[in-house]
Amino acid sequence: MRAKKTNTIYTGIEIGSGSIKVVMGEFDEGDIIRVAGLADVPSMRVLKGEITDNDIVHEQLVQALNRAEKMAKRDVKDVYLAINTGTMASVNSIGACPASGPNQTIAPKDVAHALSNARAYVLPPDKTEVNTIDRRLLLDGHREVVNPVHQVAKKVAADIHLMYGRYNSIENACLLVERTMGYSALDACFSIVAAAFAVLSKEDMAQGTLVVDIGAGTTNYILFHGIGVFHSGQVTVGTDHIANDLAIGLEIPMVKARGIVKTLDRFGASAVMTPDGDERPVKIAVPGMKTRTIPASVIELVAEERLKELFDIILEDLNRQSALPRMPNGVMLTGGGALIKGVDELAHRVFQLPVRAGIPRDVFCIDDVASSPAFATPIGLLRWAKFLEKIEDGEKKTVTDKILQDVTTFFGKLFGGLRNALRW
């Protein structure tokens, strides 16, 4: 059961492979996030989303929290954690229930029972659930509807999307936060869910938008469509892989390679290769080594091959799920990888859909730092927290939310938690 929030300021923590980010913020009228404190500390002992040294990461997290507190001039009290371990995966589960309403119509309790049956999916003992979100509601096995209640049908089927990861990795991240704060996080959610909450409007979610979060160690993706999440996934490849490829190919230190990836545009290069031979020479200066000159197109080739492969893997997975027709709104790129010059053009070539940078919406921050795609996850955590609070407070009073209330009450009894039945 989630602990109760104690103040109005929300704090989101993301322990990533590239950096540890902390964002403290409040909600103004009109759902605008006013960022009070923000910190971004380079991460030293996280590889492909896995914490390799708890003590070092603990120190860095303390550093990040102190910086954010100093900027906000307030103490961090309630925190929300983004789960970004390199062990995340997803599965869909369907549960059905025959109509029990008058004249063979679907009653609210039928939907609740169908959801309950879908949720009866048992994960292997070494895995644990992070988020479960509705995927589709089907009448008679094939007709997708938003609200099945009072519809004439023989049965209703609830298709849910379950995001899970390895228990040990997730618990390790949660315990690290608990050790640092002295209390556990109020809630933890899969980082891509948070990132999507930051950049997508309700319309984007309903119409179908793919969000791809390119981090340093992992790339996560999620497709929101209709009533919830149609598909999500993770590839444990990120911008660190581009840097590693460059370090190996150009025989330069990893630090230098990371710098090149971050500032491709400064070298006149991008993620899309222009085959122009030696026409754009780039000087590579490494302390203790002789300065060399290499063609910019070589750097582009390495970056393009890696990113294209990454997008191809995502596209293949989406194809397997027959998901492409469900993303007319195109693709949004978030995370540090979204800042690489030309990455949007490359993604457009692969997906053949409109691609744009996922900039956190409705955020006010003094120096506009929080409006970067790199901050989508911690900003999204604040929206996620607010979203959970709204459900608990029962603010939503539409017809579908009334069903949700019934369903959440049902789930509340069954599982003791509200996050088990999320709809918007």
Partner 1 sequence: MPSDGDRKPDGEVLVLGVGHSGSRFLMELARLPASRRLRLVGIDTDEESLVGAAGIEVIRIGRGVNRPHGCGGDVSMGQRAAAAAAADFRRVMDGARLVIVCAGLGGGTGTGAAVSLARHARDLGVPSFFMVTVPFAFEGTWKRTQAEEVLPQLREYADSVAAIPNDALFSHCAADIDAGEAFAIADRMIAECVGGMAGMAWADRMLSADFGTIQAVLRRQTGLCRLASGKGSGAGRWTAAVESFLNCPLIGSADSLNEVVDAVICLHVKGPVTITEVSACVARLEKSFGEGVRLSIGVCRVDDADDDVRMTGILCVDSAHASRMTPAAEAAGPSPVSEPVKSPPRHHRGGPLIQEELPIQEYSLGLFANTSPTRYREENLDVPTFQRKGLKLDLGGWKK
Per CB under 8 A, does 416 bind partner 1? no
Among residues 129, 20, 30, 138, the alpha carbon closest in space to that of 79 is found at 20
Binders of partner 1 among residues 31 to 50 (CB under 8 A) are: 47-48, 50
Task: At 270, list the tokens.
Answer: 């991008």
Residue of 62, 94, 206, 350 that binds partner 1 (CB under 8 A) = 94
Binding of residue 305 to partner 1 (CB under 8 A): yes
For partner 1, the closer CB: 75 or 279 = 279
Only one of the segments 8-16, 174-182, 243-251, 375-383 lies at the binding site for partner 1 (rule: CB under 8 A); that segment is 243-251
Contacts of 288 by beta carbon, 8 Å cutoff, 6+ apart: none
By CB under 8 A, tell whether 174 contacts partner 1. no
What are the distances in angstroms from CA 25 to CA 62, 73, 201, 293?
Answer: 18, 12, 19, 46
Q: Which of 334, 331, 305, 304 is nearest to 318 (CA)?
A: 331
Options 254, 285, 289, 366; binder of partner 1; rule CB under 8 A: 254
Query: What does the CA dihedral 320, 322, 327, 332 come to, rounded to 10 degrees?
Result: -10
Query: Using alpha carbons only, how large is the chain's radius of gyration in Å?
Result: 22
Q: By CB under 8 A, name the one of 60, 93, 270, 334 that touches partner 1.
A: 93
Shortest CB 94 distance to partner 1, Å: 5
Which two three-digit tokens encode residue 214? 């390119």
Q: How far is the CB of 413 from partner 1 (least distance, A)?
A: 12
User: Torsion angle, CA of 28/31/34/36, rounded to 10 degrees?
Assistant: 90
Q: How many CB atoms lie within 10 A of CB 176?
A: 19
**Site size with partner 1, rule: CB under 8 A:** 74
Q: How many helices (H) and strands (E) does the chain have?
A: 11, 19
Residue 372 engages partner 1 in binding (rule: CB under 8 A):
no
Angstrom distance (rounded) from CA 349 to CA 352: 5
Q: Are strands 228-235 and 281-284 parallel, antiparallel or unpaired?
A: unpaired
Instruction: Centre a 10 Å sphere on the Cβ of residue 265 and count the other Cβ atoms it contains.
Output: 12
Instruction: Select 293 or 398, whichever has its Cβ closest to partner 1.
Output: 293
Among residues 357, 371, 401, 356, the alpha carbon closest in space to that of 32 is found at 371
Scan residues 134-163 and list those touching partner 1 (CB under 8 A).
138, 140-142, 154-155, 157, 159
Ranges within 195-234 binding partner 1 (CB under 8 A): 233-234
Choosing from 123, 175, 285, 289, the residue that interacts with partner 1 (CB under 8 A) is 123
Minimum distance between the CB of residue 359 and partner 1, rounded to whole angstroms? 26
- Least Å distance between CB 414 and partner 1? 8
Residue range at the interface with partner 1 (CB under 8 A); choices 20-28, 277-285, 360-368, 380-388? 277-285
CB-based contacts of 125, cutoff 8 Å, min separation 6: 167
Closer to partner 1 by CB, 157 or 347: give it.
Answer: 157
Minimum distance from CB of 350 to partner 1 (Å)? 14
CB of 83 to partner 1, least distance (A): 13
Calculate helix-pair angle for 376-393, 191-199, nearest 10 degrees: 90
For partner 1, which is the closer residue by CB, 90 or 377? Answer: 90
Residue 126 in contact with partner 1, rule: CB under 8 A = yes
Window 73-92: residues binding partner 1 (CB under 8 A):
86-92
Name the segment binding partner 1 (CB under 8 A); options: 66-74, 172-180, 309-317, 329-337.
Answer: 309-317
| Binders of partner 1 in range 312-351 (CB under 8 A) | 313-314, 317, 320-322
Residue 20 is classified by DSSP as E
Would you say 181 or 303 has its CB closer to partner 1? Answer: 303
- In the bound state with partner 1, the residue whose beta carbon lies nearer, of 1 and 122, is 122
Contact 380, 23 (CB under 8 A): no
Min separation Cβ 25 and partner 1, Å: 30
Question: Does position 118 bind partner 1 by CB under 8 A?
Answer: yes
